[in-house]
Structure 1
């Protein structure tokens, strides 16, 4: 599983550029959609914590891969139908800095 995440992460773009309006939409999505499982303050719930401290050792590329493809046999769904790779990378970086 880890090697699959690494391979997928290598395929993601190095930069994550999104327009300011889309960035605001993604922030809202993180709060509302991710927050429904990971907690509105992202300190955990059904899903694990998504605080910068909890994700300190995670690579943004691996996080983006999880966001896009979900985690099989868990409640983490794939968001690839709704997000681009750049948007997933933006979310991953946002989670690590916020």
Structure 2
């Protein structure tokens, strides 16, 4: 008998969170305003293709601040950069810098998406 997919997903998240606790915190330089606009477009278009165009959930879970409140900034940044193995969440480290990912993580924790 294999473990249930949801349970396995939970273990992967826990391992990723532990990894982020014992590594150097991600850089915190804020991207230029033009880059922030590009990142916001990426968030609602690319991330939205799985997490819903209003980020309320779809194939992937909700990315609303209340759904992410259990994670700290470094954990979310790590998930963005490294993905979640065994799930549809890909690593974005080939396209995003640590600063980009940290800005996106902070944005997700602090900004409410547009209404549907």
Q: TM-score, length-normalised on structure 1?
A: 0.91
Between Structure 1 and Structure 2, how many residues are aligned?
A: 98
Corresponding residue number in structure 2 for 1:80: 93
User: Structure 2, unaligned stretches of length 5 or more?
Assistant: 1-11, 112-116
- Structure 1 residue 4, shift from structure 2 partner: 4.2
Alignment root-mean-square deviation, CA: 1.5
Corresponding residue number in structure 1 for 2:83: 70
Structure 1 consecutive aligned stretches of length 4 or more whose deviation exceeds 2 Å: 1-14
Corresponding residue number in structure 2 for 1:97: 110
Matches within 5 A, 1:1-98: 1=12, 2-8=14-20, 10-98=23-111
Q: TM-score, length-normalised on structure 2?
A: 0.77
- Structure 1 residue 62, shift from structure 2 partner: 0.1
User: Do 1:12 and 1:85's aligned partners in 2 also have CA atoms closer than 8 Å?
Assistant: no
CA separation in 2, counterparts of 1:3 and 1:74? Answer: 14
User: Do 1:13 and 1:85's aligned partners in 2 also have CA atoms closer than 8 Å?
Assistant: yes
